[in-house]
Amino acid sequence: MNVPSFALAERLRLLLRNRLLASPVGTLLLLVQRSPLVQMLLPEAKLISSSGAIDVAAWAVATVAGLGAYDSVSGATTISQISPNSGSTSVPATKGKNLSFVFQLLGYPDTPGSWKVTGLPSGLTHADVKNNTVDSVSGVPTQTGTFSVKITAYSKTSYSGDNFSKTFTMTVADDPSARITSQPSSTTINSGQSATLSVSAGGASPFTYKWYRGAKGNTSNPVGGNSANYTTPALTATTTYWVNVSNSENPSGENSNAATVTVNQPARITNQPDSTTINSGQSTTLSVSASGTAPLTYQWYRGASGSTANPVGTNSPNFTTPVLTTTTSYWVKVTNVANAGGDLSDTTTVTVNQPASVATPPASVSINSGASVVLSVVAGGTPPFSYQWYQGASGDTAVPVGSDSPDLTTPS
């Protein structure tokens, strides 16, 4: 004969329980239900006088024994927790800590073909054992809270057929050990500024914070106080910091990642543009060299250093002047994120040589035969000048005379 299914067996047990509780000995059995069956027989026989009552008691005791369990009057099928909290419907767990939740099916003669578990917090996995009265859930919970975990045993391996379910309450508490939940962030400042670094911790307070300058794990340069925030001094160079967070549950603490405070260096002119000389009608290229955190911005101006009335050129360390006919001055301002006001160069002068010209030509003069005369010329332009006199009409170079001088004494 086939063994009754889960559902049929459960209905039978409930029917027997109701009949038992309604019988003359129901109250007595409730009082002694946790006693071994052998200890129940004599008291019941003594307390019940009529033979009919004795028959009922015998039937009831036999029924309890036949159900095979003494933790309830009916001995009904149940799913029981083995660990971590044996026999309870409450399952304690801690976020970030390994959990092994083991359970079993009791009170049914057959072995479950399959199990299904629903409602688990993230991080936990059902073992999904087949053809076994014991199954489990394990892993590391990654979220806190209270979860209703429903466990169902099926008669078939395909999660089908007759089944029995029970719900357990799983409470996942936060890990009391000090741990870092938000790392201090690297940041960038300008030279001469300070920065505030912050860390967030989880676990049981109070926490102890120890900040250090240097690479992670290097405790040779402690800085700051016992706080989740640390404000650096004014910095002129890029510097690295990290923090250790501890509490009574984690005395050695957890080290944060290293946070780097990058310091932007201000724009500085390292080589001034040089003054130069050109001839009228020529152009020249002026150059400047600068240091500081890139990108650097260049603005050239015509005029004395500091005068911004005449901006010229493009955003470049080099500037080519237009064709010049007069001496002209230039300067450049170099800026960056750390020096918005910029560094101003010295004034550089482009001296323009003016071409030689005859400002005052030699004057015509009359002399007596056999006499000589001194002819003179006044030159314009940029000295020094070279002079070459010629005999003949202007432009006729066939007969050069005289020396390199603005004055010529004619022969007699």
Residue 344 lies in a domain: yes
pLDDT band at 231 (very low <50, low <70, confident <90, very high): very high
How many domains are there within the chain? 5
- Does residue 198 or residue 8 have the better pLDDT? 198
Residue 30 lies in a domain: yes
State whether 128 and 198 are in the same domain.
no
State whether 88 and 143 are in the same domain.
yes
The confidence score (pLDDT) of residue 109 equals 85
The confidence score (pLDDT) of residue 403 equals 84
pLDDT at 63 over 90: no
State whether 162 and 91 are in the same domain.
yes
Residue 11 lies in a domain: yes
Domain interval for residue 334: 268-353
The confidence score (pLDDT) of residue 108 equals 86
pTM over 0.85: no
pLDDT, tens digit, 9 for 90 and up, residues 157-175: 999 999 999 999 999 998 8
pLDDT, tens digit, 9 for 90 and up, residues 91-150: 999 998 999 999 999 998 889 999 999 999 999 999 999 999 999 999 999 999 999 999
Of the chain, the percentage scoring pLDDT greater than 70 comes to 82
Q: What does the pLDDT average to over 338-351?
A: 98
The confidence score (pLDDT) of residue 58 equals 43
HEC secondary structure over the chain: CCCCCHHHHHHHHHHHHHHHHHCCCHHHHHHHCCCCHHHHHHHHHHHCCCHHHHHHHHHHHHHHHHHCCCCCCCCCCEEEEEECCCCCCEEEEECCCCEEEEEEEECCCCCCCEEEEECCCCCEEECCCCCCCEEEEEECCCCCEEEEEEEEEECCCCCCCCEEEEEEEEEEECCCCCEEEECCCCEEEECCECCEEECEEECCCCCEEEEEECCCCCCCCEECCCCCEEECCCECCCEEEEEEEEECCEEEEEECCCEEEEEECCCEEEECCCCEEEECCECCEEECEEECCCCCEEEEEECCCCCCCCEECCCCCEEECCCECCCEEEEEEEEECCEEEEEECCCEEEEEECCCEEEECCCCCCCCCCCCCEEECEEECCCCCCCCEEECCCCCCCEEECCCCCEEECCC
The confidence score (pLDDT) of residue 23 equals 54
- Does residue 73 or residue 319 have the better pLDDT? 319
Q: What does the pLDDT average to over 261-268?
A: 99
pLDDT band at 179 (very low <50, low <70, confident <90, very high): very high
Q: Which of 141, 173, 205 is the last residue of a domain?
A: 173
State whether 337 and 369 are in the same domain.
no
pLDDT band at 53 (very low <50, low <70, confident <90, very high): very low
pLDDT at 379 over 80: yes
pLDDT band at 8 (very low <50, low <70, confident <90, very high): low
pLDDT, tens digit, 9 for 90 and up, residues 12-24: 555 555 555 455 4
State whether 244 and 309 are in the same domain.
no
Residue 88 lies in a domain: yes
- Does residue 400 or residue 34 have the better pLDDT? 400
The confidence score (pLDDT) of residue 131 equals 97
Q: Which of 67, 100, 118 is the last residue of a domain?
A: 67
pLDDT band at 327 (very low <50, low <70, confident <90, very high): very high
CATH of the domain at 82: 2.60.40.10
The confidence score (pLDDT) of residue 344 equals 99
Residue 178 lies in a domain: no
The confidence score (pLDDT) of residue 10 equals 52
pLDDT at 48 over 80: no
Residue 152 lies in a domain: yes
Residue 39 lies in a domain: yes
The confidence score (pLDDT) of residue 61 equals 40
